[in-house]
Structure 1
Amino acid sequence: MQLTNVVIQGKVDLQVPLKRLATDLINVRYDPSKFSALIWQHRKAGRNCLVFANGYINCNGACRSFQNGIKRLRRYARLLQKLGYCQSLIGIKLVSGSASHKLEGIVRLEKNPV
């Protein structure tokens, strides 16, 4: 079995002004009429991150381990901290994970007669 994706969530300790943050960062997409979060793709931090106005941060993308996802979340929080938008990251939790596995043999999906 191979882990293909994890979504890790954390919260920063204050409200994030998304409109101002969108002007301070590069590689961001923010259109509040379509989606309520700022989508941030940093080259070095990896994959993408969703930043919500209430302080929640979700990091997702191809990860090989849960620890790798947590490390990515901490990188994004550290970048926000360097810009002066937060002091600390609290409440880190795993939201979801997905994996794939190759089955050997034949898998029959037709309905069994009763």
Structure 2
Amino acid sequence: MRERLNVSIQSASLILVAAGLAWVVWSNDTSMKEMLTYLIILILLIEGLSLFLIGKVYPESHTTFKTGILASLLILFGIKIMAPDLFIPLTITVFAINFMYNFYTNGKRRQGTFKRKTGGKLKTR
């Protein structure tokens, strides 16, 4: 059940990003930097919720990667201030990497090959 909810949350995040970017194209009220800032905040919340829901089900590598995505989204706020010319391309790159990874993990989950390994890591004598 949590995995299906996770897929729905990931789909909602993709729709939000597409809608936000479409809003910038057709509206003259919001700039691209402002909309990307709002989208980063929304994606941070969505990815945090997603990580909370399936953190114990998916492998540790997934948790590590998603934590890295969350950290890179937070770093983008500093890039917005310190190197504003790089903010838009780097933000779009982070979004693209995140969504490609989401599609990859959803495909692996459907195949049943994306599970946390069970077993003891320490052997006692």
Higher strand proportion (structure 1 or 2): 1
TM-score, with structure 2 as normaliser = 0.30
Q: Which has the larger radius of gyration?
A: 1
TM-score, with structure 1 as normaliser = 0.32
Higher helix proportion (structure 1 or 2): 2
